[in-house]
Chains A and B, each alone.
Chain A
């Protein structure tokens, strides 16, 4: 049947502009809508096994697009479809609890990312080893440095093995040594995952690993295709 792993069909997404209740009520009565349109009639197809990069300026809607695929924002119009298990890597260490130990937080974060108990138990030794935290793993993470927290976050996040992996700017955490290691780990995840969508500003990396790039500008797709050409289009757009 379909060879697509992700299909975004004519998705339009608005964000409401916050007003006080009185003005909101007036707007409802007048039938007026104050909103910001983040995505305008966007359609994307990603084939199984493809590695896609999304680029664009800050606030152009690329992260929003990723979150529509992950199911975080429901589209106002259109629909999005995925085939298989999907996982979004964003904000490593979301939900960490400063007063629990590294080990407890690894389990907590793992369960937030969708693991069940057995999976977490079997993956924990590997996670702890990768995080390079040593005996710190049994200390409360409020005693951790930012880099240590990031390392633990990445160690947990990279232990997952979804059919589709969405990555939102999580490269480049920790000291240079660990950064190299994390880059390698993410690249190996990218290879293992089959289908990957990456949002990033590091064009060098994107060029080397992506099969195709998509340029998003003000909520619409303005280029889609060969990485070098799309990056070229990005630079011309900025001139």
Chain B
């Protein structure tokens, strides 16, 4: 073993399999070492979305605001006069749920939508779902700036608890990432997965506290209590309560259940993705 030999790199296996069990952690270190690429890809997504639009990034705020007006109108028509904060609850629900729904469909389609790139360059494929979610979280965070006029209009004093607004949005994106990573490789084989996800997002909209609030659910007894086990109830409620200047005010079992599901989705999602993404590229 001379010093000359050492100067040359040793043979290593191309695309050696990493342990599936380590995937939840190794994914994080891969992302960290490719942070420059992740940042650039997220920027590409966000820039591309609001190109050639006169209002540009303002659409991140306008879109949920318009939607909220429609839902508010619908609710008033169906249920009579709600309390004066109701449009705000709907607006925040729409922003947070929108982050989840868009992130989920973007993750599920992240491999199929980048088929060309997948065939031409190699970098850790986890980067595709992560940038898909990252872009949607960034857009939703910009959309959450809608709370600034709300604070002014409703004369709500800003507090440190406003930090829960971005945290809630981030958690909804993280949940979508875990769920989406379970399905993205399968979507390469059969595109039915993307259709199923679309249904899931639409149905979830009604089952989650978007048009209704956790407080309304708790007044309804048993069924309302069941509804709050939905892991998305916590991030949405977190955002709403944060705006009102308090940390999340839900029975803790719901909060724990939500946090545990986010963690489980991440663990299972990264493991499934790690196992199947390698073969999935051949179906594209």
B110-125 Cβ-contact flags toward A at 8 Å (1 or 0): 0000001111111100
Is the CB–CB distance between A67 and B14 below 8 Å?
no
Using a CB-CB cutoff of 8 Å, which residues 96-133 of chain B contact chain A? 116-123
Is the CB–CB distance between A74 and B36 below 8 Å?
no
Is the CB–CB distance between B117 and A69 below 8 Å?
no
Contacting residue for A108 out of B13, B44, B118, B121, CB 8 A: B44
Using a CB-CB cutoff of 8 Å, which residues 35-67 of chain B contact chain A? 36-37, 40-41, 43-44, 47-48, 51-52
Is the CB–CB distance between A69 and B47 below 8 Å?
no
| Listed stretches A110-118, A181-189, A218-226; interface member | A110-118
A80 at the interface (CB under 8 A from B): yes
A26 at the interface (CB under 8 A from B): no
Q: Roughly how many angstroms separate A48 CA and B9 CA in the complex, as a whole number?
A: 10
Residue of A nearest to B192 (CB): A21
B83 at the interface (CB under 8 A from A): no
Given the known interface contacts A72-B122, A88-B120, A114-B123, the answer about A80 and B14 at a Cβ–Cβ threshold of 8 Å is yes
Q: Roughly how many angstroms separate A98 CA and B47 CA in the complex, as a whole number?
A: 10
Q: Roughly how many angstroms separate A99 CA and B46 CA in the complex, as a whole number?
A: 11
Using a CB-CB cutoff of 8 Å, which residues 29-78 of chain A contact chain B? 48, 67-74
Given the known interface contacts A15-B282, A81-B14, the answer about A163 and B119 at a Cβ–Cβ threshold of 8 Å is no
Is the CB–CB distance between B44 and A97 below 8 Å?
yes
Is the CB–CB distance between A83 and B281 below 8 Å?
no
- Residues of chain B lying within 8 A (CB to CB) of residue A20: 190
Q: Please, how many residues of chain A have a CB less than 8 angstroms from a CB on the other chain?
A: 49
| Listed stretches A1-9, A198-206, A208-216; interface member | A1-9
Is the CB–CB distance between B117 and A94 below 8 Å?
yes
A79 at the interface (CB under 8 A from B): yes
- Residues of chain A lying within 8 A (CB to CB) of residue B12: 81-83
B1-40 Cβ-contact flags toward A at 8 Å (1 or 0): 0000100111111110000000000000000000011001
Given the known interface contacts A71-B15, A81-B11, A83-B10, the answer about A94 and B281 at a Cβ–Cβ threshold of 8 Å is no
Q: Roughly how many angstroms separate A85 CA and B12 CA in the complex, as a whole number?
A: 10
Q: List 12 contacting pairs A-B, 8 Å CB cutoff, sorted by A.
A: A67-B119, A70-B122, A82-B14, A83-B11, A91-B120, A95-B41, A95-B117, A107-B40, A111-B36, A112-B117, A112-B121, A120-B36
A4-B11, A94-B116, A94-B117 known; 9 new pairs, CB 8 Å cut-off, are A2-B10, A16-B189, A67-B119, A74-B15, A86-B14, A88-B122, A90-B120, A95-B121, A100-B44
6 nearest interchain CB pairs? Answer: A84-B9, A71-B15, A99-B51, A111-B37, A81-B11, A97-B44
What is A's interface to B at a CB cutoff of 8 Å?
A: 1-2, 4, 7, 14-16, 18, 20-21, 24, 48, 67-74, 79-86, 88, 90-91, 94-95, 97-100, 104, 107-108, 111-117, 120, 163
